[in-house]
């Protein structure tokens, strides 16, 4: 009698465990958004990008000039503003550790580079993945930036140099893998993916993490280049290399992926 009771219970537990494992293999859809956190430095006093835009719009209204296309233009003395740019990604690797179920790893070699306009957050196509559902205690993304004929990262803005307002253009051309540990906007240390509720993750580029520790005075002695019919402080390995080397080492820490 005991034996006939034991067997059905064992089978029930086995089936329950199998169902749980099957559930953990089901895909959860994750959609990606993009954002640039702009940066403004005013002689050590930081102010919001929104205030900067209001000032520029006011000057544009008074002068009827296209400030973006026709430098130089007036901005407050000593101000460094970084508020535009682009990002391109060639491949994305994923490494996730769950509290239950097997760890998850995949490599997505994109058919063509993903190109993001960081000013608007728009990209040349949607980025989304099907990732096995579950509670992730660690989730990492490995981005290979760039692509054929694409710069990995460009950040643009302007600075007052003497009596002129000069464009600043930082070109990060190094195609090294960028490692990002994903974060949760909710419970710290845990990211929950469910197959019945699509998730959204935001890839954020924080310009302040790159430029915050730069003294605007360093730009006063930078070389100016004629670029795209404008006067530009071009920062890349060939132009203003000292500035480039100071900024390039901060790229990885400036990029975050945050799950809502």
Confidence class of residue 7 from pLDDT cuts 50, 70 and 90?
very low
Cα separations in angstroms, 243 against 15, 168, 246: 62, 11, 5
Using an 8 Å Cβ cutoff, are 76 and 119 in contact? Answer: no
pLDDT of residue 109: 83
pLDDT exceeds 70 at position 67: no
pLDDT tens readout for residues 159-217: 876 677 889 999 999 889 999 999 998 778 899 999 999 999 999 999 999 998 877 66
pLDDT for 21 equals: 55
pLDDT at 65: 41
Tell whether the model's pLDDT for residue 47 goes beyond 60. Answer: no
The two tokens of residue 58 are 């006011």
What is the Cα–Cα distance from 235 to 225, expressed in whole angstroms? 10
Residue 174: name the closest of 145, 201, 200 by CA. 145
Q: How confident is the model at residue 42 (pLDDT cuts 50, 70, 90)?
A: low
Q: How many C-beta atoms surround the C-beta of residue 146 within 10 A?
A: 21
Report the range out of 36-45, 68-77, 191-200 with the highest average pLDDT: 191-200
Q: What is residue 78's predicted lDDT score, i.e. its pLDDT?
A: 57
Q: Any idea which of 63-77, 129-143, 151-165 has the lowest mean pLDDT? A: 63-77
Residue 63, pLDDT score: 38
pLDDT band at 41 (very low <50, low <70, confident <90, very high): confident
pLDDT for the residue 22: 66
Q: What is the pLDDT of residue 178?
A: 95
Of 229, 186, 178, whose CA–CA distance to 69 is shortest? 229
Q: Where are the domains of the chain?
A: 26-259
Confidence of residue 68 (pLDDT cuts 50, 70, 90): very low
Average pLDDT over residues 96-114: 90
Residue 31: the pLDDT is: 96
Q: For residues 75 and 35, is the Cβ–Cβ distance under 8 A? A: no
Residue with more model confidence, 162 or 143: 143
**What is the widest separation between alpha-carbon atoms in the chain?**
97
Average pLDDT over residues 131-155: 93
Q: What's the pLDDT score for residue 219?
A: 78
């Amino acid at each position: 009698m005991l034996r006939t009771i034991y067997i059905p219970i064992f089978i029930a537990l086995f089936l329950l465990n199998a169902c749980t494992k099957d559930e953990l293999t089901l895909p959860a859809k994750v959609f990606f958004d993009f954002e640039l956190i702009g940066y403004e430095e005013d002689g050590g006093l930081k102010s919001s990008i929104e205030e900067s835009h209001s000032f520029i719009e006011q000057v544009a209204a008074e002068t009827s000039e296209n400030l973006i296309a026709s430098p130089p233009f007036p901005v407050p003395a000593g101000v460094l503003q970084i508020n535009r740019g682009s990002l391109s990604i060639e491949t994305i690797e994923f490494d996730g550790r769950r509290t239950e179920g097997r760890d998850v790893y995949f490599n997505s070699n994109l058919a063509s580079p993903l190109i993001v306009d960081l000013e608007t957050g728009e990209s040349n196509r949607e980025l989304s993945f099907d990732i096995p559902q579950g509670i992730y205690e660690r989730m990492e993304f490995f981005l290979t930036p760039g692509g054929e004929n694409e710069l990995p990262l460009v950040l643009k803005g302007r600075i007052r140099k003497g009596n002129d307002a000069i464009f600043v253009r930082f070109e990060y051309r190094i195609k090294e893998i960028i490692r990002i540990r994903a974060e949760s906007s909710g419970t710290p240390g845990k990211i929950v993916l469910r197959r019945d509720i699509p998730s959204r993750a935001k890839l954020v580029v924080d310009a302040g993490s790159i430029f915050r520790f730069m003294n605007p005075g360093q730009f006063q002695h930078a070389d100016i280049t004629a670029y795209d019919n404008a006067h530009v402080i071009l920062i890349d390995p060939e132009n203003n290399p000292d500035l480039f080397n100071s900024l390039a080492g901060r790229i990885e820490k400036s990029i975050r992926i945050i799950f809502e």
